[in-house]
Amino acid sequence: MQIRNHFPPLHQNIRAPHLQFLNPRFCSMAGQSDPHVSLFSPAEIEFFAEDEMVDIVPNLRVEALNMICGDYGPFTPQIPAKVPLWLAVALKKRGKCAIRPPEWMSVERLTQVLEAERDSSREFQPLPFHYVEITKLLFHFAQDDIPDMYLVKSMVEDIRDVRFHKVELGLETFTNRTQAVKLKNLSAMEANIIRPFSVRALQAFYKHDIPDVASQTAATVNRPSMADRGPRRTLRPR
């Protein structure tokens, strides 16, 4: 069987390390000059998510596949193998494998997570960094492999809504004393949604916070000094 290598969309042709999400330079680029552009489109985030590994049960016999990003296989029928999501989806589309849903996608685990999310008003539950994208891809391409698909789907939606509500409550706590924001366990897609807004909001707060105009001599138009900007405040104090 022939399997083509995975072609990224034209606008994103490198497999970039996930560290990009954390790089402050990237964050400050987002929406700085143009508010309409967030740094990553949701499709690009989905592209990153396809590097996550999943278990598949192939039903074909094929030699190991040597890809730019690594070697996968060899595949033997009924012997589980670990492959990146993009390869799993490509095989699944051709009917060459069954995808084993990750164990956090079971109804029991999601029920636990949903309850915990509802119980704690500030903390996020640990979920995979790309859970929004992985679930979307699996719901679309591997419906028959997920037991109780509709229940799982609605639970993931609920979890996402509860979490985003918390994110919004967190955004409300920004003040001119906010210097840094700590969001533990925030997922890639959630971070990407609030990135343009929150970065600009923090910039605006920083700009409008004129600490002590009185101390400046009348003739200087210097920018206020950066010293004394208060203690570091976290968005979700722990």
Partner 1 sequence: MSHYYDIDDIIVDEELVSVVFQVTANGVGLLDPGSETNSVEQGAKIDVTFWLAQELYLREAASINLPMHFNQKTRKEVQADPECVDLRSRCPYFYELGYKIAPMVADKELGTFISLTFNGRYKEILSKSHGAAFAAVPKFLPRLTKEETNLYEAARNSMIAFKEWRLGVSRLEGASVLGRKRKPIIGEMHGPTP
Q: How far is the CB of 74 from partner 1 (least distance, A)?
A: 28
Distance CA 9, CA 117 (A): 35
Distance of CA 194 to the CA centre of its chain: 11
From the list 73-81, 95-103, 106-114, 193-201, the region that binds partner 1 by CB under 8 A is 193-201
> Residue 125 interacts with partner 1 (CB under 8 A)?
no
Number of residues lying near partner 1 (CB under 8 A): 51
Q: How far is the CB of 195 from partner 1 (least distance, A)?
A: 7
Q: Which residue number, 148 or 168, has a Cβ lying nearer to partner 1?
A: 168
**Amino acid code (one letter) for 24:** P
Q: How far is the CB of 126 from partner 1 (least distance, A)?
A: 22
> Residue 234 interacts with partner 1 (CB under 8 A)?
no
Q: Beta-strand (E) ranges in the chain?
A: 53-58, 65-67, 70-72, 81-84, 97-100
Q: Which residue number, 22 or 43, has a Cβ lying nearer to partner 1?
A: 43
Q: Which residue has the tokens 């919004």?
A: 168
Residues within window 78-117 making contact with partner 1, judged by CB under 8 A? none
> Residue 172 interacts with partner 1 (CB under 8 A)?
yes
The three-class DSSP label of residue 84 is strand
CA distance between the termini of the chain:
53
- What are the backbone angles phi and psi of residue 81, rounded to the nearest 5°? -140, 155
Q: How far is the CB of 184 from partner 1 (least distance, A)?
A: 20
Q: How far is the CB of 208 from partner 1 (least distance, A)?
A: 5
Residues 134 and 160: beta-carbon distance below 8 Å: no
Distance CA 20, CA 16 (A): 7
Edge-to-edge order in the sheet of strand 97-100? 81-84, 53-58, 97-100
> Residue 208 interacts with partner 1 (CB under 8 A)?
yes
Residues 45 and 133: beta-carbon distance below 8 Å: yes
Q: Pick from 213, 228, 231, 238: which binds partner 1 (CB under 8 A)?
A: 213
Rounded (10°) angle between helices 149-172 and 131-141: 160
From the list 14-22, 56-64, 99-107, 186-194, the region that binds partner 1 by CB under 8 A is 186-194
> Residue 161 interacts with partner 1 (CB under 8 A)?
no
Residues within window 19-78 making contact with partner 1, judged by CB under 8 A? 31-33, 35-36, 38, 41-43, 46-47
- Residues engaged in binding partner 1 (CB under 8 A): 9, 31-33, 35-36, 38, 41-43, 46-47, 136, 140, 164, 167-168, 171-172, 174-176, 189, 192-197, 200-201, 203-214, 216, 218-224
